Structure 1
Amino acid sequence: MTETPKIALAGVHKSFGPKTVLNGIDLEVARGESLVIIGGSGTGKSVMLKCILGLLHPDSGSIRVDGRETTRLNSRDRERLLHKFGMLFQGAALFDSLPVWENVAFGLIQGEHMPRPRARDIAVAKLGAVGLGPEVANLSPAELSGGMQKRVALARAIADEPEIIFFDEPTTGLDPIMADVINELIVQCVKDLGATAVTITHDMASARKIADRIAMIYQGRIIWTGHASDIDDSGNPYVDQFVHGRADGPIRMQIRAL
C-alpha cells in the first residue's frame, strides 16, 4: 500500500481579482521528505504556502494534510492543524520588543500557554541546537547580526517540534558562508526532528543542499519535479534557464522602458 502523502495539493487555484496566481497546482510531499520549490518572483510560491497554512483560502481545489482535507476546516480544527507546522519567515520576522528567548518561545507561551520558566528552558535548548549560547537569550534582536537573527528564527520554527516546517527564502540577505551555515542547520534540524520540510527559494546552492526533491512553479503551475541530483539534467528548458540564471530562454522578464 502506498503511504499517504504528508501534504497533497490537487487542482489548487487562487486569484486576486483579475490576476491568477495559482492555476491548478498539483503537488505531493512525502512524510519526512525535504521538498524545495523554485521559481521566479510572483510565480505563486508564497501564496501556495499560505494556502497550505490556511492563511489564504484557495478558490478551488483540494489541500490535504495527513490525508485530511483542510480547505473546509472550522476554526477549532484549523487551530489544531496549525500545531503541526513550524515556519521560518523571510527576513526572520522577529519581534523587536521581545528578547531573543521570548521570540523563540512565542508559540509555546501564546499558543500552548506554557509556563514561562519552562518555555525559557526550551528556548535556550533550541538556541543551542542552532549554535547559539545561553548568553544570547536575553539580547534583543537588534543586537544580533543577520545570520544570528536567522538562527533565532530557525530556533523558533523548531521550538514546538513540529511535524512540518516551512522555510521561506531562508538564506536571503546572507553572505555565501553564512548561507551555507544556515543550510547545514536546516538539514540537521529537520533530520533530528524527523520533520517534513518545504522550502521556497531562489538560491540554487541552498536548494541543492536542502532538497531531497525539487519542484519548479511557473505561471501558477508545477512544471517539473525531480530528485535534487537531476536538476542539472531536467530536460525542461524553463528549469534549465532558471537554474543557470540565463536571460535568454522561454522565461521572459517584463522590463519597463525608462
Structure 2
Amino acid sequence: MSDTPKIELRNVCKAFGKKVVLDNLNLSIADGESLVVIGGSGTGKSVMLKCILGLLKPDSGQIFIDGEEITNQSTQMREKILLKTGMLFQYAALFDSLTIWENVSFGLMQAHGMGRKEAKEIAIEKLSLVGLGPELADKTPAELSIGMQKRVGLARAIAADPEIIFFDEPTTGLDPIMGDVIDNLIRDCTRDLGATTLTISHDMESAQKIADRIALLYKGSVVWAGPADSIETCGDPYVTQFVNGDVDGPIKLDILKP
C-alpha cells in the first residue's frame, strides 16, 4: 500500500456567486480506504464530488489522484485518470433505452473499447456478484424494482475493476432492508476489489457499516474526521449534534435564522 494518498484535496474552494460552498476543504483518502463524508443538505458534499470528477472546476485549491494534480489537466488527460474510477449514482442513473447488461458494460464498451460479446460476459459476471441472475441481462431497467436497479448500478460501478469507486447517497430511496443489502454489497464488493472508496451520505447507519473512516462536512469544511467506530463516542459537539439530530448545537440551519 502506497504512502501517497489515493485521493487528496488541498484548500479546495468553490463558490456560486456570493454563496461559498467549499471553503478551503482539505481531505485525504488512503489507498484501499473506505471514507464516508457525511453532512446535512447544502454542506458541499455533492459539489466536492463533482469537483473531483471534473464536472465542476474549483475556484482555487488542488485535487490529486495517486499524487497527480488533476484540476488543471487537459480533458484528455483527466479522462485517462478517471478510467481508474467507477461511480454509483444516487438513483442508479440507468439508461432506459439499453438492456441491463448493456448498462453494466456501457463503460467497458465506450471507454475501454471492449467488444459486445466479452462485455456481456463480464456484465453477467458482475451481476452475479450483486445477486442478480443472467435471466435479467436482456431486460430493461423499467422491468426492475428500485432496489434491483440500484444493484445494477453497483454492478456497473465495479464492471471495469476500478481502483477508485464513488458512491453518491447509495441507500437513498430504499427501504431499510434493501438499504442494508446494498450496504453489504458495497462493503463486500469493494473489499474484494481492494478499491479505494469515497461515499457521500447522510445515513449514519449506512456510513458506519461501510466506512473505515468518516468525515463530517459543515459549511464546506471538514469539522471532524475519525474512525467509523468512534463516531458515537468521540465527544465532538458537531458530531454529537449531527448523530442525535439535535436542533441545538454548533451546526446552524439556515431555515432557523431570523
TM-score by length of 2: 0.97
In structure 1, the partner of 2:161 is 161
In structure 1, the partner of 2:238 is 238
CA RMSD of superposed structures (Å): 1.4
1:141 aligns with 2:141: yes
1:9 aligns with 2:9: yes
1:49 aligns with 2:49: yes
Letter in 1 for 2:129: A
Letter in 2 for 1:104: V
In structure 2, the partner of 1:204 is 204
1:178 to partner: Cα distance: 0.6
What SS class does the counterpart of residue 113 from structure 1 fall into? coil
What SS class does the counterpart of residue 107 from structure 1 fall into? helix
In structure 2, the partner of 1:183 is 183
1:66 aligns with 2:69: no
Identity of aligned residues (%): 64
In structure 1, the partner of 2:79 is 79
Q: Distance in 2 between matches of 1:208 and 1:126?
A: 25
Q: Distance in 2 between matches of 1:236 and 1:2?
A: 30
Are 2:87 and 2:157, in contact at CA under 8 Å, matched by a contact in 1? yes
1:235 to partner: Cα distance: 2.3
Q: Distance in 2 between matches of 1:66 and 1:58?
A: 19
Q: Distance in 2 between matches of 1:150 and 1:222?
A: 29
In structure 2, the partner of 1:130 is 130
In structure 1, the partner of 2:253 is 253
1:218 aligns with 2:218: yes
1:165-222 Cα deviation digits (max 9, x unpaired): 0000000011111100000000011011100000010111100100000000000101
In structure 1, the partner of 2:193 is 193
What SS class does the counterpart of residue 215 from structure 1 fall into? strand
In structure 2, the partner of 1:31 is 31
1:243 to partner: Cα distance: 1.1
Letter in 2 for 1:228: A
Q: Distance in 1 between matches of 2:94 and 2:104?
A: 9
1:252 to partner: Cα distance: 2.6
1:250 to partner: Cα distance: 2.3
Letter in 1 for 2:225: T
1:34-93 Cα deviation digits (max 9, x unpaired): 000000001100111111111111111111111111111112211101101100000111
1:93-139 Cα deviation digits (max 9, x unpaired): 11111111111011111111211111111100000010000011111
Letter in 1 for 2:199: T
Gaps of 5+ in 2: none
Q: Distance in 1 between matches of 2:98 and 2:229?
A: 41
Paired residues in the alignment total 257
Are 2:38 and 2:215, in contact at CA under 8 Å, matched by a contact in 1? yes
What SS class does the counterpart of residue 11 from structure 1 fall into? strand
In structure 2, the partner of 1:174 is 174
What SS class does the counterpart of residue 255 from structure 2 fall into? coil
Q: Distance in 2 between matches of 1:2 and 1:96?
A: 40
1:220-248 Cα deviation digits (max 9, x unpaired): 10110000011012222111111121222
- Cα pair distance change 1:126/1:2, threshold 3 Å: closer
Q: Distance in 2 between matches of 1:17 and 1:255?
A: 20
Letter in 1 for 2:160: D
1:2 to partner: Cα distance: 7.7
Q: Distance in 2 between matches of 1:2 and 1:201?
A: 27
- Cα pair distance change 1:221/1:256, threshold 3 Å: closer
